[in-house]
Amino acid sequence: MEKIKLKKPDGRQLLLYSRRPIPGGLRAPSPGAEPVEADPHLRWHPLRGEWVAYASHRNNRTFLPPPEYNPLAPSRSEQFPTELPVGDYDIAVFDNRFPSMAAGASARPELPTPSRPANGVCEVVVFTQDAASSLGALPLSHFELLVDVWADRYEEIGGREEIQYVMPFENRGQEMGVTLNHPHGQIYAYPFIPPIPARELELQRGYMEDHGRGLLADMLAGELAGGARLVAREASAAAFVPVCARYPYEVWALPSRPVPSLAALERAERRDFARTLKTVLMKYDALWNRPFPYLMVFHQAPTDGKEYPWAHAHAEIYPALRSPGRLKYLAGTELGSGMFANDCLPEEKAAELQAVKVEIND
C-alpha cells in the first residue's frame, strides 16, 4: 500500500492510496479556499440517554458549479476545482467539507441539557477515480486495497486521544439519500462509543462470559454448518443473511477469526474478506440487474484504550429495498418502538441470493 498525505487550500487533509508508487508533485485542490466553519456540538438526549450532533454550516463563498460538476472526480477545471487532484492513485480520503463532527468544536453551556464539543472526525473515502464504477465492480486487488485503507484509518484516527470509536460505512444509492453517484463511503469517528455499537459490545461481552466463546464466531459456525442462510464463503471469511435479519436482504460479512478490527487481519485474511464483500455486492447488483441501494457499516472494537476480547469485527449491510420497486420504510414500529417488522423470511431471501451466480477474476 502506497500512501501520501497532502493539505488542501482550506486546511483540510487529503490522503491518496495506491497499489503502485504515487508520483510526486501532486497538489490537493478544494472547491473553496476558505475554511468551512462547522463548530459542531453534541447535546445530551436525557430521554434516550444518547448524544445528538448539531452542525449548522455557514459557507462564505459563492459556489455555483455546472450541473455535471462532480466534486469527487479528479479536478480538471481551474474555475470549478473538485476535492481530488488528477494523478495516478486508486483511493482518496479527505476531511468532509460539511462535517457533523470536527476538531476544535465548542460546547453550548447555556443549554438546559449537557453539551460538549463534537470533536470527532468525518472523512470521505473515494473508492475509485471512475465515477461510473461501483464498489462491487472494483477489481479484487483494488477492493483489497480498500480493506487496507479502512484498516489504516482505524489505526490512525483511532490513535487520537479523543477518539473512542471509528466507523467506516457506505450509503449507496439515492434511496439512502446519496446525491453523488461517484463510488464513495465515509468514516465517522466519535469521541464516545455510540449506542448501537455499545449495545452490540455489551451483548458480545455477556455471551462470552456465559459461553466462553464469541457470539459472532458461534453464529458463523452455525451458519457454515447449516448453510441455509449462507451467501458467500472463503477460507477465512463468510457472509450470511442473519436468522434475525431486520431488513429483507440484510447480510452480515465477517472474518472467521474473531479479530477486533480490520487492522488485525493478515494479508490472506484481508483478501478473503474483500472477496466475501465483493461477492455479496455483486450478488445484490445482479439480483434485479440494477444498482442495489444499501447501508454497509463496519463495527469494530472501540479505540478508547480498553481491551475488548469479545469484539468481533464485522460488516452489517442493510438494503433499502424489499422488492425491485418497493422500499423498506422505517416507520411507526421501527422508529417508535424499536421493534422491526420484516414481512420476508431470512431463509427465503438467502435462497434468492444463493441462486445468483457471480464470478470473480483475481
Active site residues: 184
CB of 3 to a copy of itself, least distance (A): 24
Neighbours of 185 (CB within 10 A): 22
Q: Binding residue for a copy of itself (CB under 8 A) from 1, 332, 351, 360?
A: 332
Q: Please, which residue, 56 or 79, has the CB nearer to a copy of itself?
A: 56
For residue 300 the three cell numbers come to 469494530
Q: How far is CA 288 from CA 168, 322, 352, 353, in A?
A: 27, 11, 11, 11
Q: With CB under 8 A as the contact rule, which of the stretches 60-68, 266-274, 326-334, 354-362 interacts with a copy of itself?
A: 326-334
Smallest distance from the beta carbon of 87 to a copy of itself, in angstroms? 28
Phi, psi of 187 (to 5 degrees): -130, 125
Question: Counting contacts by CB under 8 A, is residue 303 touching a copy of itself?
Answer: no
Say how many residues make up the chain.
362
Cβ proximity to a copy of itself, 18 vs 303, nearer residue: 303
Among 11-19, 140-148, 185-193, 282-290, the segment contacting a copy of itself (CB under 8 A): 185-193
Comparison of 129 and 164: residue with beta carbon closer to a copy of itself: 164
In angstroms, the CA 108 to CA 293 distance is 37
Interaction between residue 44 and a copy of itself (CB under 8 A): yes
Among 199, 224, 324, 351, binds a copy of itself (CB under 8 A): 199
Taking contact as CB under 8 A, which single stretch among the options 76-84, 87-95, 133-141, 188-196 is the one that binds a copy of itself? 188-196
Binding flag, residue 180, a copy of itself (CB under 8 A): no
Looking at the Cβ atoms of 21 and 177, the one nearer to a copy of itself is 177
Does 113 engage in binding with a copy of itself (CB under 8 A)?
Answer: yes
Residue 58, beta-bridge partner list = 37
Print the binding letters for residues 219-238 with a copy of itself: x by CB under 8 A, - otherwise: x--x---x------------
Alpha-carbon torsion (320, 324, 325, 331), positive or negative = negative
Q: Provide the pairing of β-strand 184-190 with 230-233.
A: unpaired
Determine the size of the site formed for a copy of itself (CB under 8 A): 75
The grid coordinates listed for 362 are: 483475481
HEC readout, 186-246: EEEEECCCCHHHHHHHHHHHHHHHHHCCCHHHHHHHHHHHHCCCEEEECCCEEEECCCCCC
The reply on whether position 111 binds a copy of itself by CB under 8 A is yes
Q: Are 191 and 301 in contact (CB under 8 A)?
A: no
